[in-house]
Chain A
């Protein structure tokens, strides 16, 4: 394994600015916040992945992991997940659904679409920080992403 300094890029799809702030502050504690791209709805996330719109000019590497909320404006999380997992190029990106919803049907639908992990945001901030930290460390540091992903 290479050094932990090599951090994968994290694509976060989250419409709630407070959740963005809290997630970033949790990642910050472990110095994982620098390589986070934040998109605020499903459409923006897809624009990023397909390098179109405002992300036309970006380098075409895939993120090491994608943290996906389910309830999103415009294109919702399940739809984004469906598009990613049915695209030959994008399906290799590990996707972690990070949601407030404990609904079983969301969970079942996500797994059916091929999600890599499903995490319910804990109410307790301690637990939330721990969850984010572990997610960040595992997917962006420990996990070996497929080729074509950004490593710093």
Chain B
């Protein structure tokens, strides 16, 4: 702001001193001229009045100094032209009181005028200052209006005196509606602590911050982060409170959601932990407590067999043999189950593993089982996997031995092992056979523990192989699935995330 809102002509004029004195002389000369002219036309005793007018004009327009000059000039002119003897500055005794009164009167006038001018100048100055202040404030207010932050001011009795556009936008009341209202009543403010504490802190520290709940014009509630600043006058007296609000309703809701989710997560992981502990205890007790009686059954049966096998008939011997066989079978089941549970608990030691190498090993291992059989192997390109070598080996051994087992009835078994592109981040490996297949209706049962889709006398096994496969693949962050048709073969797939930083090498 460089220019004043309303220029003051009078003060500007008065700023040039020379001009003011010239004005003073001119007005006295004009009065003299007019008086001489009127005297010429026989008008007497007008000079006094005209000089007073000239002095008055000078006082009014030019200030104290020029007025004194005007008084002196008028006095001299009066004495010279109008007081007998004319054309002399001599004032006779009889005219002296008249002349002195004239001088005193105009001097008094000048003094009044001087006082008046001083007061007026002060008033003008004050007005200008005020105007500047008003302009400044208006400007600040309009700047505050530009922000989308909610800002409002209230006096110490909480009556709103300023309400910016951000406040209009957030709360829905226009400035005209809000100004003059009691802030907490209008907004139905809900404090986290008693309002007395808030006030005490505000007065003590000059500011307060906190979360408040308030109402909008439409009745809905919002949560705001609120900051209060105390405005004090020059004497340090609190005069107003400036409050800014930020709408954090959404953020609060997210925070609450996240908190709830975290709690739920913590609860579930505790649950999971205790379930895992239970499982571990269970596995331990299976390992220890189930094996003991089993071993006793087998052992006593064997001791019995040793004592009486030569004296009892063949059927009795058969029964004892079956008891021993069953004990052994149950022992194997327990061992498999334990191995399965151990996979879930064992640490994985991950390295970059060549699946092609693992397949070669698994096929070599299976050679014994396919003696005398016609098996055609189709082994395609296989990627490298990032995983636990012994676990991945177990996956392939299980899948390949399954393929061998379930193609047993085929004159020519065909087993294909290969890889295909999965989703962009996954590697997919499959083992396909032309064996007895399965009904897709039971696909969900394939990977369950002890789940079998075939009678045990047709295909031996205890239903733990695919469950083991699934568990290992899950521990590697992958998936297992299968496709099959009764009598038309089956394909088992597993996937795992691609090793990072390594190229696909088929």
Contact = CB atoms under 8 A, between A and B. Distances in A.
B301 to A, nearest CB: 8
Interface in A116-140: 121-126, 128
A102 B342 CA distance: 11
Given A100-B292, A102-B335, A124 B328 contact: yes
Contact of B288 (A100, A123, A128): A100
A124 B296 CA distance: 9
B327 interface: yes
A70 to B, nearest CB: 8
Contacts of B299: 22, 125, 128
Interface string A86-114: 00000000000001111110000000000
A124 B292 contact: no
B303 interface: yes
Interface string A15-44: 010110010010000000000000000000
Looking at B284, B327, B328, the one whose CB has the most chain A CB atoms below 10 A away is: B284
B66 interface: no
B284 A123 contact: no
Interface string B316-354: 000000000001100100010010001000000000000
A121 B295 contact: yes
Contacts of B342: 104
Contacts of A123: 291, 294-295, 298, 327-328, 331
A99 B338 CA distance: 16
Contacts of A126: 302
Q: Is the interface of A mostly helix, strand, loop or mixed?
A: loop
A124 B324 CA distance: 8
B287 A128 contact: no
A98 to B, nearest CB: 12
Nearest to A102: B287
A85 interface: no
Nearest to B291: A100
Interface in B274-314: 283-284, 287-289, 291-292, 294-296, 298-303
Contacts of A125: 295, 298-299, 301-303
Interface string B244-284: 00000000000000000000000000000000000000011
A100 B287 contact: yes
A82 interface: no
Nearest to A105: B284
B284 A103 contact: yes
Looking at B298, B335, B338, the one whose CB has the most chain A CB atoms below 10 A away is: B298
A99 B288 contact: yes
A128 B342 CA distance: 24
Contact of A102 (B298, B302, B328, B338): B338
B279 to A, nearest CB: 13
B284 to A, nearest CB: 6
A71 interface: yes
Contacts of A100: 287-289, 291-292, 295
Contacts of B296: 18-19, 22
A18 B298 CA distance: 12
A126 B303 CA distance: 10
A103 B298 CA distance: 22
Nearest to B339: A102
A122 B299 CA distance: 10
Contacts of B284: 101, 103
Contact of A71 (B288, B294, B301, B302): B288
Contacts of B303: 25, 125
Contacts of A104: 342
A19 B300 CA distance: 11
Contacts of B295: 22, 100, 121-123, 125, 128
A19 B287 contact: no
B303 to A, nearest CB: 7
Contacts of A70: 288
B332 to A, nearest CB: 9
A128 B301 CA distance: 13
A102 B303 CA distance: 25
A16 B292 contact: yes
A145 to B, nearest CB: 29
A121 B283 CA distance: 17
A71 B291 CA distance: 13
7 nearest interchain CB pairs? A123-B331, A125-B299, A125-B302, A100-B291, A18-B296, A101-B288, A100-B288
Given A101-B284, A125-B301, 5 more contacts: A22-B295, A104-B342, A123-B295, A123-B327, A128-B299
9 contacts: A18-B292, A18-B296, A70-B288, A103-B284, A103-B288, A121-B291, A123-B298, A125-B301, A128-B299
